[in-house]
Amino acid sequence: MPIAPESHGGSAVLVERRNGVGIVTLNRPDALNAIDMAVRRGLTRACRDLEADPDIRTVLIRAAGARGFCVGADIKEFRQVESAVAARRVAPDIAYIDAVAALTKPAIAAVHGFCLGGGFEIALACDIRVASPDAVFGLPEVNLGLIPGAGGTQRLPRLIGSGRALDLMLTGERFGAEEALRLGVVSRLAPSREALDEQALALADAIAAKSPTAAAYVKEAVKNGADLDLAAGIALEKTLFTLLLTTEDRMEAAAAFREKRRPVFTGR
């Protein structure tokens, strides 16, 4: 997958737009894509730009370099935190995670190698995670006298259950790709590192070919419904289903079925 010249946050985050898919590349391979200010700003801008682009239907977040997706925060920045005032400046800065989570378009993380701390939290903010066999996950903040600070304590328990999440966060233990698949942290496991980008992009392409409105409503129903009781969640689902009945995309799907062809969705 080629790296595009379009950059956000200097060269720390790169963006390519291809056939309805926005490909975001974390690009600090020499630092194992550690999260510094340039990455935070770049990822925030990239996600907001792709969200606003009507031609983009799916977002794929990947990372440059052979060794890892992202090892989390750049420790050099934490060494500079020597006062409560400085700590307050660093601690709330999770706009980059919020920007990923705020995407109404399906977001996929393609994870290889180390995916730790804030890097894991970036992946958790995505809707779907695909991993290569060499992927290693973990939230090791407890080993540094900290806790996950970019959504990890909230998203991981919702994904795999509080007991298993607490086990991982309280021990700071790492786990591999097979265990991630078993736990449900990832939904697909590529056969090799070389096949990861191809498989993740194929998934992004497949989703981008669907009705973007229907895809957004699926995401809204699942994400918002998770915070509702069952009756309210089903009511939300019914409302969204009803809204889709009169869309041009729904009519196009019906026509394509009758005519035995692939539908061409426009998002209307």
Tens of pLDDT, residues 6-54: 665 569 999 999 999 999 999 999 999 999 999 999 999 999 999 999 9
Number of neighbouring beta carbons within 10 Å of residue 181: 16
Candidate from 65-74, 84-93, 196-205, 245-254 with smallest mean pLDDT: 84-93
51 catalytically annotated: no
Of the residues 82, 121, 220, 259, only one is catalytic, namely 121
Q: Which helix (H) or strand (E) holds 145?
A: none
Segment 247-266, tens digit of pLDDT:
999 998 989 889 888 888 98
pLDDT above 80 for 224: yes
Instruction: Compute the distance between CA of residue 136 and CA of residue 128 in angstroms, rounded to an integer.
Output: 17
Name the pLDDT band for 83 (thresholds 50, 70, 90): low
pTM above 0.85, yes or no: yes
Which phi and psi angles does 2 have, rounded to 5°? -70, 150
Name the pLDDT band for 131 (thresholds 50, 70, 90): very high
Q: Which domains are assigned to the chain?
A: 7-208 (3.90.226.10), 212-259 (1.10.12)
Look up tokens 């298993």; give the residue: 164
Of the residues 77, 141, 179, 237, only one is catalytic, namely 141
